[in-house]
Structure 1
């Protein structure tokens, strides 16, 4: 999670002014030209706006090369040694290509990856037609970084066989555990449809292995479908992030769909029907109904339903979403509050049904602060769990972590709270203005944190509100995953001797601040579509 500064627009304005003399005007672009514009913009931002810009040289190129290939093929089951030799011609050229807005290296890796992914499906389907012999002892290493790339198809098939056997063993254990613990399941083993046990009630290892192998294939089929659904722009985002993350591990490029997901994550809300979806082969399947959302209130959409078609209220014909990329299907299903969408469903029982849902704001309750009262030794303690420092960037005053924690404190005080525990365990951070405002709930006024921006003097962010919401005993809980804004708040309260910090020996250790920059505003006359 990032710390996000509230005054990022000022930096954006300065960058826009700097771009006035740059040649980012565009006419009609194909993908290659759009990719080159992205490289140009991002390179400029990294060199001019990053606090600690790196030298884009051969060392930088080598690091990008290694990280990028590790992201493309982390298990080393796609690329051959010969592929890597082809790629190594560019190992020390990526820096020069970045400066020249050349994407030849990306094009080569992208085309080769698609070829190898297609070949991999043939391999794993062939391997999974035959049973595995679990009685044979084999050495299998999950230290994938230490593996060498294979030299030929025979070695590649053997690597896949070992990895698939390893996965199937895990599934086999699950099958056995399920059969042993579920009496109803065991009693059904005599049916013709499922003969995974003998008449004596003992588990049939052959049938169990077959079931485990089928589960492995289903998982691989779903993974393969997810991979081939990814478009060129998705893979290019992987390449861009291999570049930007060499500057620091908390700098990211968000492609448009990733930015939408980030906005939902940091705000805890979106507008839509209130369901989580997943793709299973060609089907868009309802995985969860979000409590309190429009689908939950209407109570017609069910977990397991397949969405076949989607029709907007101002359209005559529905759009068939079978086989569509999940992200593309979601664009048709989500929509502004108050609008209606009609879904054609294949229900769990196989029937086809149309339902119409009025979209609304959906809040993800797991994002927000929650409080409870604990009574112990005749004392009343309030506990507030804060998963992250959330904020709505479009309207800071709408709902944010600081204002919600303030409300929770007021509720707890009304219930006679004598001491407060603020739980920041596993809180990865979030909004910087929110953490400054939250610190102000516990202190009269004063500095909370200082931020150093490249080329500018240090900026001290202060609590300027002299009111204190809670001046009683305060404990802050942290662990190794408490990061960024969580660390700022805990450190500030410790410095002010305002709180006792309890938890792990150390927290995550992140002291950088990120700004969110809209790349679309960097391009004049943009006809490329959303740049991210």
Structure 2
């Protein structure tokens, strides 16, 4: 999302920590050579699936080729720190031919760029080491441009070397500035303290920056050539629309886990620390957690499958270590670990199904103005496509509603902020928990046939006051739900001015099914756009999203963000409305809106948020940073003064108490308890939740509820509709 990138790019505190590490977005050095025949076959498979299955595939012509060329160059060297202008000129002879190369399964362009970047990375490693062995002079007037889009590729080695010098100098200067403040604080606390000199601090900071670069280049040397080819493939498929995406086999597995919230393994999160793999967290309820032998901080040295010989994993890629530890339910894995106290221990674990609780819906009860309300947070519309009997978001939300009803709540807030979507089927079913039978969403396929998905269950789990919270990152399935609630006048939508604006449906297609007698290995899967969905009122959520009934200020109020800021996004359009009838559940709709507007306009916290958003917008084009220490410190002082002022946003306390009497998860262990308490604490600091509850309290339910007319179209269905709209 370009707008997020632009916003983060201006946040110097974050930028200066990562600027060196982000020298190349996709800059990898190969380890193992992939099979070129498999790569050619993969190109053919991608071409076949998109040509025959994409909703509205753009033709592979010169225009397509030129756009792909730019996307690919940006992916390989976005910060312009590796390629020379002469490299790009050499690559450009293919600029209008890539479409033909793809059709002919010709890898020559990929091989050329891959081998050249490999060479440039090796050269850059020498360059940064030669630059970093001399002190930097911060008294001279030099600038560094943060916006790589404004920078052309270096004309020669001298210019390229200077770019590395300026980038490293910025990193060192940032560290020096922070260290000087620490020294000043120490001196203030203890007048006898002997402060370090600028020369000493510069040397420490420079050595730290070199260490970061060393770690970065060590990391990229672990990545294999096959990953590079995935970069090329995705630069190709994104030309059709922003949500068409190729999953390599490992990525497809991660996607499945994210959609279901489940995995088979030991239930431990791993992280890489230099050459070692460390246990960072145990997942509550998982086999490692139940065994009570493995602990966070343990370092995995060797891995054995049951009684087989143990394999040394020191120095191994993290992904490869994960592959060895994961496995089918009921199988044994033995980990040789170095404990925190230095002892060596062999731990046997029987793999099992692991549920990732933070993926799932959860609810809380809160009292405000003498009334009791419920909040349901849904991070995504998850489902297990392989087994309908397993838990999914619709079943879980229904359970949370029942728990809240037992607690005696008088209204419910559905929190869909940052919910990027998921299963279309569960979006329809969750909508059905709040309305009687009727159409929920309309869908058009690439053949332009219209289909209406409807709720056929006349039961309503919750017929009381309802508020739906959205923000700029509520997308896809979230927008289907919010749009249906809005079109039926079932509740009130509150949050960002509009949601993300993703009105397309993707199918995840296993590419292996098209290869008979496959002996080349797993080809992964392609998530491609096959349909567009429309509200029951006929309007698309594409680009426009769902407009909040009550828009609230947020940090992105003045910045273009969402689907409308994506390249190759599909256009907005409209179709005929479905046959539905408004429920008019909110008797005093206009009055509720006006009361909220008045509260928000008088709320100091919202005023501060709006001021912060304006400040961010005003600075969005400030791309040039001075590398003169006096000017840099002055600029930092301005930023820090604003940061200090806006820090109050995160310190807000709405004075509300959140709890759950029916939360079984909280009784599991201290980690679960801490996570739940952290959520409650975040709700206490949330002015948006406070306003949503105030709106809920203002709603008067219309007791005359008209029954919607159910659509009886022959092609209407909602059962077993297994697609993702994530």
Give, in angstroms, the shift of residue 173 of structure 1: 4.8
Residue by residue over 1:192-225, the C-alpha shift from the partner in whole angstroms, topping out at 9 and shown as x without a partner, is xxxxxx9615355444434433432333233323
Distance in 1 (CA, whole Å) between partners of 2:77 and 2:61 is: 24
Deviations 1:496-532 (A, max 9, x none): 1101000111111000000010001110000111100
Secondary structure at the aligned position of 1:452 is classed as: strand
User: Counterparts of 1:310-389 in structure 2 under 5 Å?
Assistant: 310-315=303-308, 317-389=309-381
User: Contact 2:34 / 2:226 at 8 angstroms: preserved in 1?
Assistant: no
Q: Does residue 1:145 correspond to 2:149, yes or no?
A: yes
Structure 1 residues 126, 521: closer, same or farther in 2, change over 3 A?
same
* Superposed counterparts of 1:227-266, under 5 Å: 227-266=220-259
Instruction: Give the one of 63, 67, 72 matched to 2:67.
Output: 63
On the 8 A contact 1:150/1:156 being kept in 2, the answer is yes
Q: Could you tell me whether the CA contact under 8 Å between 1:346 and 1:352 is conserved in 2?
A: yes
Match of 1:295 in 2: 288
3-state secondary structure, aligned to 1:437: helix
For the 8 Å contact 2:34–2:225, the answer to whether it is kept is: no
User: Where does residue 169 of structure 1 map in the other structure?
Assistant: 173
What is the CA distance between 1:415 and its match in structure 2? 0.3
Q: Is the 8 A contact 2:186 2:193 kept in 1?
A: no
Whether 1:134 aligns to 2:126 is no
Change (3 A) 1:407 1:40: same
CA-CA distance at 1:271 after TM superposition = 1.6
Is 1:497 equivalent to 2:483 in the alignment?
no
> Given the two structures, how large is their TM-score scaled by the length of structure 1?
0.87
For the 8 Å contact 2:367–2:373, the answer to whether it is kept is: yes
1:229 alignment partner, SS class = coil
RMSD: 2.3
Pairwise CA distance, 1:395? 1.4
Once the two structures are TM-superposed, the CA of residue 357 in structure 1 deviates from its matched residue by 2.5
Where do 5+ consecutive residues of structure 1 fail to align? 2-28, 188-197
Return the alpha-carbon distance in structure 2 between the equivalents of residues 432 and 82 of structure 1: 48
Q: Which runs of 5+ in 2 are unaligned?
A: 2-32, 525-726
Question: Equivalent residue of 2:272, what SS?
Answer: strand
**Which residue in the other structure is 2:624 paired with?**
none
Aligned counterparts, 1:92-241, within 5 A:
92-173=96-177, 175=179, 200=193, 202-241=195-234
Q: Residues 343, 377 of structure 1: CA spacing in aligned structure 2 closer, same or farther, 3 A cutoff?
A: same
Structure 1 residue 429: Cα displacement: 0.6
Counterpart Cα distance in 1 of 2:289 and 2:166: 44
Between the aligned partners of 1:455 and 1:278, the Cα distance in structure 2 is 46
Cα distance between partner residues in 2 of 1:50 and 1:407 = 37
Shift of 1:147: 0.9
Cα gap change, 1:182 to 1:41, in 2 (>3 Å):
farther
Given that 2:379 and 2:416 are in contact with CA atoms closer than 8 Å, whether structure 1 keeps it comes out as yes
1:168–1:306 Cα change, 3 Å? farther
SS at match of 1:132: coil
Determine the C-alpha separation between the residues in 1 that align with 2:421 and 2:208. Answer: 37
User: Is the deviation greater in 441-450 or in 306-315?
Assistant: 306-315
Contact 2:303 2:324 in 1 (8 A): yes
Please say if residues 264 and 327 of structure 2, whose CA atoms lie closer than 8 Å, have aligned partners that are also in contact: yes
Give aligned pairs, total.
492
Alignment of 1:415 onto 2:419 = no
Deviation at residue 179 of structure 1 after TM alignment: 7.0
Query: Secondary structure at the residue paired with 2:303?
Result: strand
Distance 2:300 2:184 in 1: 35
Q: Taking structure 2 as the reference length, what is the TM-score of the superposition?
A: 0.65
Q: Cα 1:263–1:131, aligned 2, differ >3 Å: closer, same or farther?
A: farther
Does structure 2 conserve the Cα–Cα contact (< 8 Å) formed by 1:222 and 1:280?
no
